[in-house]
Amino acid sequence: MKYLTLAFITTFFAQGALAETVNYSCTMTKQDSHGWIAKEYAFQIDEAAKTAKAASSFQDSAEARFKNRGSKGYRLSWNLTERMAAGGDMRVRYQANLKTSDNTVTVRMAFVHADFANKPFGSGVCTIK
Q: Give the C-alpha distances (Å, rounded to integers) separating 56 from 17, 64, 79, 90, 101.
A: 18, 13, 13, 18, 22
- Each residue's pLDDT, cut to its tens digit, for the chain (129 residues) gives 444 454 555 554 555 444 589 999 999 999 887 788 999 999 999 999 999 999 998 888 899 999 999 999 999 999 998 877 788 888 899 999 999 999 999 999 998 888 777 889 999 999 998
- Rounded to two decimals, what is the model's pTM? 0.80
Structural domains in the chain, sorted by start: 2-12+19-128 (2.40.160)
Q: Are 107 and 95 in contact (CB under 8 A)?
A: yes
